[in-house]
Amino acid sequence: NAGVMQNPRHLVRRRGQEARLRCSPMKGHSHVYWYRQLPEEGLKFMVYLQKENIIDESGMPKERFSAEFPKEGPSILRIQQVVRGDSAAYFCASSFTGGRSYNEQFFGPGTRLTVL
Protein backbone atom coordinates (compact mmCIF):
# COMPACT_ATOMS: atom_id res chain seq x y z
CA ASN A 1 0.00 0.00 0.00
CA ALA A 2 1.80 3.06 -1.26
CA GLY A 3 1.76 6.12 0.94
CA VAL A 4 0.55 9.58 -0.01
CA MET A 5 2.18 10.61 -3.26
CA GLN A 6 2.85 14.13 -4.37
CA ASN A 7 4.27 15.38 -7.61
CA PRO A 8 6.27 17.08 -8.64
CA ARG A 9 8.65 17.04 -5.68
CA HIS A 10 10.26 20.27 -6.83
CA LEU A 11 8.66 22.91 -9.03
CA VAL A 12 10.22 26.11 -10.33
CA ARG A 13 8.05 28.82 -11.79
CA ARG A 14 8.59 32.39 -12.90
CA ARG A 15 6.41 35.14 -11.55
CA GLY A 16 3.05 35.21 -13.31
CA GLN A 17 3.06 31.54 -14.30
CA GLU A 18 0.71 28.87 -13.00
CA ALA A 19 1.65 26.10 -10.58
CA ARG A 20 -0.26 22.83 -10.39
CA LEU A 21 0.50 20.51 -7.49
CA ARG A 22 -0.84 16.97 -7.40
CA CYS A 23 -1.64 14.69 -4.51
CA SER A 24 -2.68 11.05 -4.67
CA PRO A 25 -4.04 9.95 -1.30
CA MET A 26 -3.40 6.58 0.23
CA LYS A 27 -5.54 3.78 -1.14
CA GLY A 28 -8.94 3.82 0.51
CA HIS A 29 -8.64 7.39 1.78
CA SER A 30 -11.26 9.85 0.63
CA HIS A 31 -10.23 12.87 2.71
CA VAL A 32 -7.44 15.20 1.62
CA TYR A 33 -5.87 18.15 3.40
CA TRP A 34 -3.42 20.69 1.98
CA TYR A 35 -0.95 22.56 4.16
CA ARG A 36 1.67 25.17 3.34
CA GLN A 37 5.02 25.53 5.07
CA LEU A 38 6.81 28.81 4.56
CA PRO A 39 10.57 28.83 5.18
CA GLU A 40 11.44 28.43 8.86
CA GLU A 41 7.77 28.19 9.85
CA GLY A 42 5.29 25.53 10.84
CA LEU A 43 2.62 24.12 8.58
CA LYS A 44 -0.52 26.16 7.99
CA PHE A 45 -3.81 24.57 7.03
CA MET A 46 -5.14 25.60 3.64
CA VAL A 47 -8.04 23.42 2.57
CA TYR A 48 -9.86 20.17 3.36
CA LEU A 49 -11.58 18.22 0.60
CA GLN A 50 -13.56 15.07 0.20
CA LYS A 51 -14.25 13.55 -3.18
CA GLU A 52 -15.85 16.26 -5.36
CA ASN A 53 -16.43 18.55 -2.38
CA ILE A 54 -14.56 21.34 -0.65
CA ILE A 55 -15.39 21.02 3.05
CA ASP A 56 -13.25 23.74 4.61
CA GLU A 57 -11.22 26.31 2.68
CA SER A 58 -10.75 28.74 5.54
CA GLY A 59 -6.98 28.73 5.12
CA MET A 60 -6.91 29.40 1.39
CA PRO A 61 -5.88 32.83 0.15
CA LYS A 62 -8.89 34.53 -1.39
CA GLU A 63 -7.32 35.02 -4.79
CA ARG A 64 -5.22 32.93 -7.18
CA PHE A 65 -5.49 29.68 -5.18
CA SER A 66 -7.93 26.88 -5.87
CA ALA A 67 -8.19 23.19 -5.04
CA GLU A 68 -10.15 20.25 -6.30
CA PHE A 69 -10.48 16.56 -5.59
CA PRO A 70 -12.34 14.98 -8.50
CA LYS A 71 -14.16 11.67 -8.44
CA GLU A 72 -11.31 10.13 -10.39
CA GLY A 73 -7.69 11.15 -10.16
CA PRO A 74 -5.53 13.09 -7.77
CA SER A 75 -6.31 16.19 -5.78
CA ILE A 76 -4.94 19.33 -7.42
CA LEU A 77 -3.81 22.55 -5.76
CA ARG A 78 -3.62 25.28 -8.37
CA ILE A 79 -1.87 28.60 -7.95
CA GLN A 80 -2.40 31.14 -10.68
CA GLN A 81 -0.05 34.05 -11.43
CA VAL A 82 2.48 32.98 -8.83
CA VAL A 83 4.44 35.56 -6.85
CA ARG A 84 7.68 35.17 -4.91
CA GLY A 85 5.74 34.95 -1.65
CA ASP A 86 4.19 31.69 -2.86
CA SER A 87 7.57 29.98 -2.56
CA ALA A 88 7.05 27.32 0.08
CA ALA A 89 6.68 23.60 0.67
CA TYR A 90 3.15 22.38 0.06
CA PHE A 91 2.15 19.22 1.87
CA CYS A 92 -0.81 17.02 1.24
CA ALA A 93 -2.23 14.67 3.86
CA SER A 94 -4.93 12.06 3.53
CA SER A 95 -7.10 10.26 6.04
CA PHE A 96 -9.61 7.45 6.06
CA THR A 97 -12.25 9.44 7.90
CA GLY A 98 -12.88 13.01 8.82
CA GLY A 99 -14.83 14.53 11.63
CA ARG A 100 -14.63 14.16 15.36
CA SER A 101 -13.10 10.76 15.92
CA TYR A 102 -9.39 10.00 15.96
CA ASN A 103 -8.33 10.55 12.43
CA GLU A 104 -4.66 10.11 11.60
CA GLN A 105 -3.51 12.18 8.70
CA PHE A 106 -0.76 10.62 6.61
CA PHE A 107 1.52 13.16 4.98
CA GLY A 108 3.12 13.11 1.58
CA PRO A 109 6.73 14.17 0.99
CA GLY A 110 5.68 17.64 -0.15
CA THR A 111 6.17 19.78 -3.24
CA ARG A 112 8.75 22.50 -2.91
CA LEU A 113 7.72 25.45 -5.03
CA THR A 114 10.28 28.08 -5.94
CA VAL A 115 9.14 31.23 -7.69
CA LEU A 116 11.87 33.12 -9.50
Partner 1 sequence: GEDVEQSLFLSVREGDSSVINCTYTDSSSTYLYWYKQEPGAGLQLLTYIFSNMDMKQDQRLTVLLNKKDKHLSLRIADTQTGDSAIYFCAESIPYNTDKLIFGTGTRLQVFP
- List contacts with partner 1 (CB under 8 A): 4, 33, 35, 41-45, 48, 55-56, 59, 91, 93, 95, 98-100, 102-110
Distance CA(112)–CA(89), nearest Å, equals 4
Of 15 and 44, the one with the shorter C-beta distance to partner 1 is 44
CB of 73 to partner 1, least distance (A): 21
CB of 42 to partner 1, least distance (A): 4
Radius of gyration of the chain from Cα atoms?
A: 13
CB of 3 to partner 1, least distance (A): 9
Of 24 and 95, the one with the shorter C-beta distance to partner 1 is 95
Which secondary-structure segment (H or E) carries 48? strand 43-50
Q: Could you give phi then psi for residue 86, rounded to 5 degrees?
A: -80, -10
Of 6 and 13, the one with the shorter C-beta distance to partner 1 is 6
Sign of CA dihedral 60, 63, 108, 5: positive
